[in-house]
Structure 1
């Protein structure tokens, strides 16, 4: 049995307009430091992160405590999206049709086509228990894929910043359980 810990980033500073470079807020940094307690007694062999600042900063205290390097992977980034006033309604529609997208944004199918192979590559290139840090929508699309559709829009709505999920994988690389663990 192998465990993969999926970490959704902590609270981002929304005053920074560039999505990729937006850092964590002070409260977000405090929560990121608190996450280290979840991993200190685990046998973590590697840490992977989206290249976005908020994801990297979320796992940095854990990496420092465990004396591990954070490997960034571009395909773990968040879904390219355009802010809309009807954002929640639009996301609900995207969950109904993974090919749906507005001009200038990625569909959920686009995200799935990049994040699933990225996850598979990370899984195949590592051994033991690892941490993968990313974003709510991108991780949700991955979870939806891994659970054969059991992870849904309502599960996405219940995600926190930060949040930690543990995926239990069999020796045959099959997900046998996905659970949200307390942060």
Structure 2
């Protein structure tokens, strides 16, 4: 049997400095309905999300369609780049990808964020074997998880992600069989 994990990068959000409560934009809310249409026939068993509002809102229509609750899981929240706002986001994110063990003050290195994401994924794979699972998450963390299995999922790949984006990772137990772009 196969365990399929659909990682859903959140849809477009309205920028605020509060990472936790930042909501989806009107376009993001429309895209969340598109995700429902794309995945509603996939027989999703379990819904898990980063506790960040934009991630929850992105998978909420699909969870409601399936009459399922969304389990919040902090291991799938976005990587913490630094304490507070970063003045030059592009320079900061480039640095952590170029130096995966580097972390800004009170931030997470790529290695630390990746380890957190993989720990969460392994827990999901052990808990929900042979099921179809949707995980609402964030672009950087999603790519770091995928990068753990295949180095081609790197900084360049991350920069080309869409909001939203969906990748299906199929596992035999905890062994990755394939990664597919779904939407």
User: Counterpart of 2:165?
Assistant: 163
User: Counterpart of 2:115?
Assistant: 113
After TM superposition, the runs of 4+ consecutive aligned structure 1 residues lying more than 4 A away are none
How far does residue 81 in structure 1 lie from its aligned partner after superposition?
2.1
1:24-103 equivalences under 5 Å are: 24-82=24-82, 83-103=85-105
How far does residue 108 in structure 1 lie from its aligned partner after superposition?
1.1
Give the Cα–Cα distance (whole angstroms) in 1 for the partners of residues 76 and 88 of structure 2.
25
How far does residue 88 in structure 1 lie from its aligned partner after superposition?
2.2
Give the Cα–Cα distance (whole angstroms) in 1 for the partners of residues 99 and 177 of structure 2.
26
How many residue pairs were aligned? 179
User: Counterpart of 1:11?
Assistant: 12
2:104 equivalent to 1:139: no
Q: Which digits, 9 at most, give the CA deviation of each residue in 1:118-140, with x for residues without a partner? A: 11111111131111110011111
Instruction: Give unpaired runs (5+ residues) of structure 1.
Output: none
Give the Cα–Cα distance (whole angstroms) in 2 for the partners of residues 62 and 29 of structure 1.
12
Tell me, yes or no, if the aligned pair for 2:81 and 2:93 is still in contact at 8 Å: no
User: Counterpart of 1:130?
Assistant: 133
Using the size of structure 1 for normalisation, the TM-score is: 0.92
The answer to which of 76-85 and 119-128 deviates more is 76-85
Using the size of structure 2 for normalisation, the TM-score is: 0.92
Computed over aligned residues only, the root mean square deviation of the Cα atoms, in angstroms, reads 1.4
The answer to which of 90-99 and 18-27 deviates more is 90-99
Give the Cα–Cα distance (whole angstroms) in 1 for the partners of residues 86 and 117 of structure 2.
24
